[in-house]
Amino acid sequence: MPSPPNILVLCTGNSCRSQLLHGYLAQLLGPRAAVYSAGIETHGVNPLAIEVMREDGVDIAAHTSNLVDEYAAVPFAYVLTVCDHAREACPVFPAAAVALHHNFADPARATGSPAEVRAQFRAARDQVKAYAQQFVRQYFN
């Protein structure tokens, strides 16, 4: 039996957007895929990303912020970039990988009151969740 496909979610700092998508894809796909996330830099997993995912029943508290170079030897079937900067700075992956891109606004750059910042994190989470559901429908059904 072949091993499940590997999916890499890539963004600049591997702190918010890629962590959100990693969490949803892991939840939606379970054993049907191995999901990784990384950044071209590491900024640590944002505590508000953990909080808003927990509100939606997804626990990403154990996730780590990883550099893309750590996964150079992993044969990815899909590479999903979630910000323009990562797509532009992304290392080249084998041509066999399906490369997909969607630029999500970075909630880590949100400004305003704590309630306004949380609202921006929730909005990003909901956009990422819809994207994850669409990806799974298109590539795994």
In 50-127, the DSSP E strands lie at 76-81, 98-101
Q: 10 Å Cβ neighbour count for 132?
A: 23
Q: Which residues are catalytic?
A: 11, 83, 90
Q: 10 Å Cβ neighbour count for 85?
A: 16
Could you give the CA distance from residue 86 to residue 39 in angstroms, rounded to a whole number? 7
The tokens describing 69, both together, are 């170079």
Could you give the CA distance from residue 38 to residue 9 in angstroms, rounded to a whole number? 6
Looking at residue 93, what is its pLDDT?
Answer: 62
Interval 86-107: pLDDT, tens: 666 665 566 678 999 999 999 9
Task: Render each residue's pLDDT in the chain as its tens digit; 141 residues.
Answer: 778 999 999 998 899 999 999 999 999 999 999 999 999 889 899 999 999 999 999 999 999 999 998 998 899 999 999 987 766 666 556 667 899 999 999 999 999 999 999 999 999 999 999 999 999 999 998
The structural domains of the chain, ordered by start, are 6-140 (3.40.50.2300)
Tell me what percent of the residues of the chain surpass a pLDDT of 70. 91
* pTM (two decimals): 0.93
